[in-house]
Structure 1
Amino acid sequence: MKFVAFNVRDDERKYFENWSKENKIEVTLLKEELTSTTIAKAKGYDAVLGFQTGNYPDNLFDELAKFNVKVFSVRNVGVDNVDLETAGKYNITVTNVPAYSPNAIAEFTITQLLQLLRKQNLFRQRMAKQDFRWAPFVGEELGHMTVGVMGTGRIGRAAIQIYKGFGAKVIAYDPFPNPQLEKEGIYVSQEELFKQADVITLHMPATDENYHCINEDSIKLMKDGVYIVNAARGALIDTEALIAALKNGKVKGAALDTYENEAPIFNHDLSGQAINDPMFKELLAMDNVVLSPHIAFYTETAVQNMVEVSLASAKKVVETGTAKTIVQ
């Protein structure tokens, strides 16, 4: 049994090497992303492990089928960039890591929101000029707010517990309600969530149904001065509509760890290079936006789990033909 992992970062390497040694399975580690060119390096392996926020090559599963690869295991939750239909056509099993660390992402969203509420962008700018006055940047307290959680899977539920710890009133929307949360009576319709929430935090996968669920029309339903938090998927937000609302004050602030056109930007060193993305540059320059490069997941615990679960899933499928983490 032999595996090959693409787009391996230095922080993942020790976990790959330890697992390979413990399980006596050869795992080849490559720094390159999976592209139409590099995919040839998958020849001779039983399983391929991938991790990239951008698109995988269109011919991914056509080529993996030629190489008799049995498993494609992604080291993350989302599979919206994976052609599951073609994988199924070639009988290639796709697995993911459904819960590498829900707390990592939930904690991060609250951290970013608190920076917005306490005007940290503005204070950092002022202090850089050695101006240490307080006024007029009065902060707001989360415990006095209604937080609308969109998506109540593992991450959404972790976020709900943290928000409750701050004393916030929590309401939620999910097309597939959690039975335990239903008993607590926190579910409302999506429209009601937009109308009632002071903070809207997104914890949903990117699907055709919720593409740009935050858009010009949904923003009109929201309270004046609402805050929006997104550490899920960039495609959930119509960025152009959000920027307009941030400018006119309808949206008071946004904490964004994802961006719909992030693939050529996030996790790349673009020092000294021009960024040819006007919307992104506008977000980056806004005082009422806290922007981060898709790092909500990025903790030691999460990285270890992402590597080990993806490897264990691939091993299980090769040995038995099944695993609990199969998505296709």
Structure 2
Amino acid sequence: MKQLSIKSTGVDGVRFDWAQKHQLTVTNVPSYSPTSVGHYTVMSILMALRNIPAMIKGKLDRRSVIGRELQDVTVGLLGTGRIGALVAEAIYHMGGHVIATSRSENPRLKGIVEYVSFETLIAASDVLSIHIPLTKASEGLFSASVFAQMKPGSCLVNTARGGIVDTDALIAALAQGRLSGAVLDAIANEERYFSVGWDQNPYYQQLNQLPNVLLTPHIAYYTQLAVQEIAETALNNARDILLEGQSANTIAL
């Protein structure tokens, strides 16, 4: 074996020390249809605002599940890369006010997004959506102290990586009523349970008991177009390594 051709953008699950030890080239799929995750995120934001998680779970008290409309709320985005930018544009054109924190301002979002500090982002957002990769710096970023600073009654949407959120702290914030809900397509430790069943994850079981949480098994990307592009890129990476000894999508070890 000479190569690990990873079929995703994120490579946080790769043991690079092992790959380096065995002199393996690691490649990834740096980009694919941004609309797959982007549209899913927009749907998730709207579901959070309309209290759909509670309705799905049978909480039919009309007074407690009354929704909010986009023009009346502030949507915060952590990260405005390809996916975050698509979400920002969609929310803006649907009438929402969008604020964001990102490593750099995206020029395509001029006049659409108001860039703010992370502290302002978490304090002012009615819905906060995560669009950053999982790194050593971002792991556990959404901690108990961050949830304590978030706007009371706000919602969290995560279609990025579960490890960015301290799940124990999230469960506490939801149980205490600090947050009004969460829509999660990724939760911590999920990769350990894909082969045995996503619902076997203890975090899934705890979160699923909460009436204001909607969980999906890391399927935001899962469209025909995205899967086709992922497969083609992964296979092209393998071909390039085999025929040319290098790939434009090689990850530096």
Do both share a fold (TM > 0.5)?
yes
Q: Give the SS at the match of 1:254.
A: strand
Which residue of structure 1 lines up, in the alignment, with residue 217 of structure 2?
293
Q: Contact (CA 8 Å) 2:154, 2:180: kept in 1 or not?
A: yes
Give the Cα–Cα distance (whole angstroms) in 2 for the partners of residues 292 and 184 of structure 1: 29
Which residue of structure 1 lines up, in the alignment, with residue 134 of structure 2?
206
Which residue of structure 2 lines up, in the alignment, with residue 99 of structure 1?
31
Which residue of structure 1 lines up, in the alignment, with residue 19 of structure 2?
87
Q: Give the SS at the match of 1:295.
A: coil
Q: CA 1:86 to 1:263, structure 2 compared with 1: closer, same or farther past 3 Å? A: closer
Q: Contact (CA 8 Å) 1:267, 1:293: kept in 2 or not?
A: no
Q: Deviations over 1:175-203 (max 9, x none)?
A: 24434447866322211211221111011
Q: Contact (CA 8 Å) 2:53, 2:212: kept in 1 or not?
A: yes
Give the Cα–Cα distance (whole angstroms) in 2 for the partners of residues 303 and 280 of structure 1: 25
Q: Contact (CA 8 Å) 2:208, 2:215: kept in 1 or not?
A: yes
Q: CA deviation at 1:152?
A: 1.8
Q: CA 1:86 to 1:117, structure 2 compared with 1: closer, same or farther past 3 Å? A: same
Q: Give the SS at the match of 2:156.
A: strand
Which residue of structure 1 lines up, in the alignment, with residue 121 of structure 2?
193
Q: CA 1:88 to 1:75, structure 2 compared with 1: closer, same or farther past 3 Å? A: same
* Aligned residue among 185, 189, 196 for 1:261: 189
**AA in 2 matched with 1:250:** R
Q: CA deviation at 1:108?
A: 1.0
Which residue of structure 2 lines up, in the alignment, with residue 138 of structure 1?
66
**AA in 2 matched with 1:227:** C
Q: Contact (CA 8 Å) 1:200, 1:227: kept in 2 or not?
A: yes
**AA in 2 matched with 1:138:** I
**1:1-328 to 2 correspondences below 5 Å:** 64=1, 69=2, 71-88=3-20, 91-126=23-58, 134-181=62-109, 186-266=114-194, 268-269=196-197, 275=200, 277=202, 279-328=203-252
Identity %: 36
Which residue of structure 2 lines up, in the alignment, with residue 41 of structure 1?
none
Give the Cα–Cα distance (whole angstroms) in 1 for the partners of residues 240 and 18 of structure 2: 22
Q: Contact (CA 8 Å) 1:109, 1:255: kept in 2 or not?
A: no
**Larger RCO (CA under 8 A, 6+ residues apart):** 2
Q: Contact (CA 8 Å) 1:112, 1:290: kept in 2 or not?
A: no
**AA in 2 matched with 1:110:** V
Give the Cα–Cα distance (whole angstroms) in 1 for the partners of residues 18 and 196 of structure 2: 29
Q: CA 1:208 to 1:196, structure 2 compared with 1: closer, same or farther past 3 Å? A: same
Give the Cα–Cα distance (whole angstroms) in 2 for the partners of residues 267 and 104 of structure 1: 24
Q: CA deviation at 1:218?
A: 1.0
TM value normalised by structure 1: 0.70
Q: CA 1:179 to 1:92, structure 2 compared with 1: closer, same or farther past 3 Å? A: farther
Q: Give the SS at the match of 1:249.
A: coil
Q: CA deviation at 1:223?
A: 0.8
Q: CA 1:93 to 1:270, structure 2 compared with 1: closer, same or farther past 3 Å? A: closer
Q: Deviations over 1:207-246 (max 9, x none)?
A: 0101111111111221111110001111000011111111
Q: Contact (CA 8 Å) 1:254, 1:289: kept in 2 or not?
A: yes
Which residue of structure 2 lines up, in the alignment, with residue 15 of structure 1?
none
TM value normalised by structure 2: 0.89
Which residue of structure 2 lines up, in the alignment, with residue 22 of structure 1?
none
Which residue of structure 2 lines up, in the alignment, with residue 35 of structure 1?
none
Q: CA deviation at 1:163?
A: 1.4
Q: Contact (CA 8 Å) 2:88, 2:112: kept in 1 or not?
A: no
